[in-house]
Amino acid sequence: MRIIGGSLKGRRFNPPADKWPTRPTTDFAKEGLFNILENRFDFEHLRMLDLFGGTGNHTYEAISRGCLQITYVDKFAPCVRFVRDLSQSLDIQDYITIVQMDVARFLKKPAGPFDYIFAGPPYPLSWLDEIPAMIRESGCLAKDGLFVLEHNSNHHFEDYPDFEQLRKYGGTHFSFFTSNQTIDD
């Protein structure tokens, strides 16, 4: 895997893949998503939440583009160790708050509000379809914030009240949701 843009552009990282419950977003899909995000956000002023953070792929990309406040959440200890070690190696550890916890439990007491939330859950996760409602109910998405959920073609969110758009990159789908809540920063 590699970091596509920003100050760390071109840096490669290779997480140990054996028996990991992760499915890193492809470079093609990540590049498409970050092209959209760069036209929408000023990364330097962004508070980001990376749920099901896995290898930290989205976290590194956002930091490389100037994001200085990211909360990374994953329950898998080897992923958390990998992100902690790589963030030190890249000298970006000061920009990441690493939380080892189940996402459902984290969303019951989030440390938001966040301007941008990305969730890349395992596609077969039994409660994947509930994640947009969980984000909404948690109140962790800031007013005018954006939540992006990565999923495959087995999931459809077009009828969800906060749904904004769907972007497809091969088998990777990103559903975009906006905040219709009035949460003060």
Determine the pLDDT at residue 174.
Answer: 96
Give pLDDT, residue 6: 86
Domain ranges of the chain: 42-121+136-170
Predicted local distance difference test score (pLDDT) of residue 111 = 78
Using CA atoms, how far apart are residues 142 and 120, in angstroms rounded to an integer?
19
CATH hierarchy code of domain 42-121+136-170? 3.40.50.150
Residue 60 pLDDT: 95
pLDDT of residue 113: 93
**Residues above pLDDT 90, as percent of the chain:** 74
Find residue 114's DSSP bridge partners. 141
Instruction: Render the chain in DSSP notation, one character per residue.
Output: -B--SSTTTT-B-----TT----PPPHHHHHHHHHHHHTT--GGG-EEEEET-TT-HHHHHHHHTT--EEEEEE--HHHHHHHHHHHHHTT-GGGEEEEES-HHHHTTS----EEEEEE---TT-TTGGGHHHHHHHHT-EEEEEEEEEEE-TT---TTSTTEEEEEEETTEEEEEEE--S----
Read off the pLDDT of residues 49-85 as tens digits, 9 standing for 90 and up. Answer: 999 999 999 999 999 999 999 999 999 999 999 999 9
In the sheet that 96-100 helps form, which strands lie side by side, from edge to edge? 96-100, 69-74, 47-51, 114-119, 141-151, 172-178, 163-169
What is the structure's pLDDT at 181?
47
User: What global pTM score does this model have?
Assistant: 0.91
Name residues of the chain where pLDDT drops below 70: 16-23, 110, 180-185
